[in-house]
Structure 1
Amino acid sequence: MVRFWAVMAATVLGLGMLGGGVVAAAPAETPGLGPTGTSLMHGDLGSTDSTPFPGPGRSARLVASSVPGGACAATFVGRDGMPISLCTQFVGTSPPTVAVATVTLFDPVTAAPLARRQLTKGGLLGGVYGYLDGRDRVVVADGSGAILRVGHRKTRAGWQVYVDDRIDISRHIPAGDSVTGLAPDHDGRIWFATTHGVVGTVSPNGMSTNGSGTDRVRVRSMHLPRGENLGNGLSVRASGASILTTHALYEMRVRADGTPLVVWRRAYERGRARMPGQLTWGSGTTPTYFGPGGDGWVAIVDNAVRPQLIVYDSDTGDTVCRMPAFDRSGQGTENSPMAWGDSLVIPSTYGYQYPPMAVDGPSVPATAPFVGGSTRIDVSAQGCRRVWENRDRIATLPRLSRADGLIHALGYGPYVPGSIQQAGPIYYVATDFATGKRVRTLEVGHGPVDEPLELTGTIARDGTMWQATVGRMLKIGR
């Protein structure tokens, strides 16, 4: 999960030029969703982990930083330019507790936290997957079985983060379950998916309790086969959604009343156990829509001993191509493939060391070195073809810029046998999408205080990359 910039000229694959100091034009937006490129954890509804804005790149420098008191898994930037994050606060106060989800607002100049709202504690991912709506409100699920719309405003007493609306979906979530994935669709619905396989939608006019009472809410849901859990987000296209469980990939639509309907299901090789460097047993990838028409194909990486990239036709479920996801890199990933046109870039997370409380069950083997590596694979109707593979040891969810042709992330230096992952310098790295070559390496911190923890950043319209580590919020500019 995690990802984010400055401006420079680029002409990769027919890109136009962007002069120094030029602010990128705002692209077309999706109704009901916040600004394109800065409102979703995976960049867009298709989960391409790409952005229309250029990042810091060759001129990158650390502009500001702060200590927010928690690890911020995803950061959004609204039309007002205010960065706002979904964070796991180390110590909460309302009520006193540990490891609680919060929505935190940051100063766009100094990166200092301005205000926060503590959410009801729930599942780990309940406070991670969310999005920014058209009114700059964070839409997120909390542990009470509700979807919240969390706004922010400046008052005489200072900035305030507050719950503007609450949609109760608790009767659709069994005891002990919690929302894992949350995303809007092109018709204004909110899709949600839970850890234990409930998939549901909230009608476009779905509202709940406010100051004057309770409005009618239309929530519809269905349950995937028992034993199939979800540890990743969901991806959305105009005609439906793609959802990946620990056993299979599903393409889904909605019935007339909003109830999710399975169009096709494809089981994949889930391996013998959770691999080191993954959070759950099964594929670690959020499905990625890409290819013809922007969503004609959907890609995942399975959990085989030698993981396979599998690309399906989104409409039929037919296999377009499959091949080993990695050659020399670590054999596994927890990150969604980045996509641009007919190309995918897949970072390896095999061997990455997550905190023990974040993972689900033992891994086989118990540990492995984090050698890293990323690879680009191009897809056509004739099959898959590896274009390059590098040694980048990426430790965040990277962001691929379609404006500057670079991949932006935080990571470590070259792998040294016997080295400790959490110790040593932490770097901002920019890699050329066309060649896989590193074009910028900037030290921005030092582990373990600045362990990137596979967190997600974002690149704002002005080219600023907002990226959290376990201990700080970093503002990287040019």
Structure 2
Amino acid sequence: MRGALGATVAVLATVAVVAVVAVVAVAAPARAIPVDTGRVDVGPAGTSLMHGDLASTDSTPNVGPGRRARVAASTVPGGACAATFIGSDGIPVSLCTQFLGPGGVAVPTVTLFHPRTASVLARLPLTKGGLLGGVYGYLDARDRVVVADGSGAIVRVAHRGGLVSPRLVVEERASLAGHLPRGDAVTGLSPDYAGRVWFASTNGVIGTVTRVAGRSRVASMHLPRGEQLGNGLSVRPAGVSVLTTHALYEMTAGADGIPRVRWRRGYDRGAARKPGQLTWGSGTTPTYFGPRGDDWVAIVDSADRAPNLLVYRSDDGGLVCRMRAFGRSGQGTENSVIARGPTSLVIPSTYGYQYPPMAESGPARPSSAPFVGGSTRVDVAPGRCHRVWENGDRIASLPRLSRADGLVYALGYGPYRPGPQQLGPVYLIGSDSATGRRVVTIPVGTGPVDEPLELTGTIARDGTLWQATVGRMLRIARG
């Protein structure tokens, strides 16, 4: 456990379940990489996907809340909101998870918030499902939330009535019956550049949904037995990246919609799950980046002594470079790798972070570790990875890089100190992605109510950060 937080585990266990999981210019803006264009059925750039864009760069074109940020409003949404999206109308909508009963029933709930007061405008509970059901989703081009519910269906939820008489309704439903084994659940969901929806299940079913003459056509395949998924899918025009607990895959689909493996690369998953990770294997959603936009793909493995950053060529799986992911930071991560422009990555550490026990899969080795934290920047060139900086940021939400101001935003804690770690202030942290230097440290709450729980926020076009904690939804505005 993270210090003397045993009592906190009990609080978190009854309140929420995690997914799993952001002015003043102080740095040169990072260059944009892949752009969601063409036939992709996705909403506004930077606010429609959990990892920022289809390539999972965890970045946004929007400027962040900056050095004078303040909590302008907050509310209690009644669940842990794993992802928040903002459509073309500026109204925030979240995928929240209520954890009910001693059996651990997860109830995914689409929740609509007022854009100024942060008050809850409407809720729509979906069919109860598995532990992580209803966590991954996105916003389509019609501002509808696309998410899988516990019945084994992909639904599109629209909000109607504006701010006067808001309500949430299911407009479309695509059944995955016959494609998911009993007890399986969708954990990854994303649109592609051919107009299809890709899905991935916990137990290794990879499939697509295509709309044909107003009906949904589902096609799927099964990865090798024993390979599970706990991360999202990343998409580029030429393929889809899928990461299991054993290997990284590049996949494509033809006219029949059936996913096919272009290449597979196994990785070192270590001897057991690491503390601060949810599964036994890599905790990173693959990140597309590279000189031509998406010609490279990056993950971090889960090797026992020290995890490695692995960068491959997207087309053929050839190794671009490999190096130890962290220097002095905690040796492991459950967070996606951030792409800072075409050849630069930022990797946050979550090693030792304490999740609610029901969110973890299998015993950890060691059983616990201090949450030291830390982030590092690595620049990539063919045949060589180079560490540029490493800092001590103890971030505890999925970070977001603003390409407009060059800062990496997240919620987190004060500096690590040996010994029992007590609950204390939770801060908005902003670090210069060019240098790693902290330039924003603003108190926004206190644990356990505002434990960030590695939840995902989003930065609106006006610079407002919408970020959930275990107990609240925070509207963090520019000062």
TM-score for the superposition, normalised by structure 1 = 0.92
Equivalent residue, structure 1, for 2:450: 450
Counterpart CA distance in 1 for 2:237 and 2:323 is 28
Counterpart CA distance in 2 for 1:14 and 1:319 is 25
Q: Contact 1:276/1:351 (CA < 8 Å) preserved in 2?
A: yes
> Taking every aligned residue pair, what percent have the same amino acid on both sides?
69
Secondary structure of 1:387's counterpart equals strand
Secondary structure of 2:195's counterpart equals coil
**Could you report, residue by residue, the CA deviation over 1:25-71 in whole angstroms, capped at 9, with x for unpaired residues?**
xx875541110100000000000000001101212111110011111
Equivalent residue, structure 2, for 1:224: 223
Equivalent residue, structure 2, for 1:427: 427
Equivalent residue, structure 2, for 1:212: none
1:184 is the counterpart of 2:191: yes
Secondary structure of 1:357's counterpart equals helix
Equivalent residue, structure 2, for 1:24: none
Gap change, CA 1:28 and 1:229, over 3 Å in 2: closer
Matched residue pairs, number?
454
Equivalent residue, structure 2, for 1:389: 390
1:85 is the counterpart of 2:109: no
Q: Contact 1:3/1:467 (CA < 8 Å) preserved in 2?
A: no
Q: Contact 1:458/1:467 (CA < 8 Å) preserved in 2?
A: yes
Secondary structure of 1:58's counterpart equals coil
Give, in angstroms, the shift of residue 157 of structure 1.
8.1
Equivalent residue, structure 1, for 2:416: 415
Q: Contact 1:2/1:41 (CA < 8 Å) preserved in 2?
A: no
Write the letter of the residue equivalent to 1:49. D
Counterpart CA distance in 1 for 2:25 and 2:203 is 46
Counterpart CA distance in 1 for 2:255 and 2:295 is 23
Give, in angstroms, the shift of residue 90 of structure 1.
4.2
Q: Contact 2:334/2:349 (CA < 8 Å) preserved in 1?
A: yes
Write the letter of the residue equivalent to 1:323. M
Q: Contact 1:147/1:167 (CA < 8 Å) preserved in 2?
A: yes
Counterpart CA distance in 1 for 2:226 and 2:90 is 42
Equivalent residue, structure 2, for 1:113: 120
Counterpart CA distance in 2 for 1:277 and 1:156 is 40
Give, in angstroms, the shift of residue 415 of structure 1.
1.0
Equivalent residue, structure 2, for 1:140: 147
Secondary structure of 1:149's counterpart equals strand
Q: How does 1:287-302 map to 2 (within 5 A)?
A: 287-302=286-301
Q: Contact 1:3/1:457 (CA < 8 Å) preserved in 2?
A: no
Secondary structure of 1:229's counterpart equals coil
Counterpart CA distance in 2 for 1:230 and 1:125 is 11
Give, in angstroms, the shift of residue 3 of structure 1.
9.1
Equivalent residue, structure 2, for 1:73: 82
Counterpart CA distance in 2 for 1:155 and 1:444 is 29
Which of 163, 169, 172 is 1:162 aligned to?
Answer: 169
Secondary structure of 2:292's counterpart equals helix
Gap change, CA 1:144 and 1:456, over 3 Å in 2: same
Q: CA RMSD in A?
A: 2.0
Counterpart CA distance in 2 for 1:34 and 1:103 is 17
Show structure 1 runs of 5+ residues with no match: 17-26, 208-215
Write the letter of the residue equivalent to 2:220. S
Q: How does 1:5-404 map to 2 (within 5 A)?
A: 7-10=23-26, 12=28, 31-90=40-99, 99-154=106-161, 158-205=165-212, 216-305=215-304, 306-340=306-340, 341-404=342-405
Gap change, CA 1:406 and 1:2, over 3 Å in 2: farther
Give, in angstroms, the shift of residue 382 of structure 1.
3.6
Counterpart CA distance in 2 for 1:473 and 1:35 is 21
Gap change, CA 1:166 and 1:137, over 3 Å in 2: same
Gap change, CA 1:361 and 1:51, over 3 Å in 2: same
Counterpart CA distance in 2 for 1:35 and 1:99 is 29
Counterpart CA distance in 2 for 1:155 and 1:300 is 40
Give, in angstroms, the shift of residue 289 of structure 1.
0.3
Gap change, CA 1:272 and 1:14, over 3 Å in 2: closer
1:441 is the counterpart of 2:441: yes
Counterpart CA distance in 1 for 2:319 and 2:163 is 58
Secondary structure of 1:293's counterpart equals coil
Counterpart CA distance in 2 for 1:14 and 1:157 is 39
Gap change, CA 1:275 and 1:156, over 3 Å in 2: closer
Counterpart CA distance in 2 for 1:285 and 1:9 is 29
Write the letter of the residue equivalent to 1:438. R
Give, in angstroms, the shift of residue 439 of structure 1.
0.3
Gap change, CA 1:409 and 1:343, over 3 Å in 2: same
Counterpart CA distance in 2 for 1:2 and 1:144 is 19
Gap change, CA 1:131 and 1:205, over 3 Å in 2: farther
